[in-house]
Amino acid sequence: MLPLVLPLYQPPLESLATVEETVVRDKAVESLRTISKEHSSSDLERYFVPLVKRLASGDWFTSRTSACGLFSVCYQRVSNPVKAELRL
């Protein structure tokens, strides 16, 4: 099992997921999706879900577009209360 890398890579990838350049944004989302697969449900709830929420509530379409690519990664693996929270 890989060490917990999501907190380490999250800030730069989150920033890249908000840029206007589509190729950069898509690669950041792809990287976040890959990294998320290596972590437990509790780690996703602790680190990944807040990231998705921040992106989804961003002012610009770029962050909201990136959030759309990340919901499916965490939704299927988090607890029911968190799923309900994500649906809001």
Q: What is the pLDDT of residue 4?
A: 66
pLDDT at 6: 67
Domain count for the chain, please give it: 1
Q: Which domain holds residue 39?
A: 6-87
Q: 3 is written with which tokens?
A: 């060490």
Each residue's pLDDT tens digit in the chain (88 positions)? 455 666 788 899 999 999 999 999 999 999 999 988 888 888 899 989 999 999 999 999 999 999 999 999 989 999 999 999 888 8
Q: Structure tokens of 34? A: 């890959």
Is 20 a member of any domain?
Answer: yes
Question: Which pLDDT score is estimated for 38?
Answer: 83
User: Would 1 be classed as within a structural domain?
Assistant: no
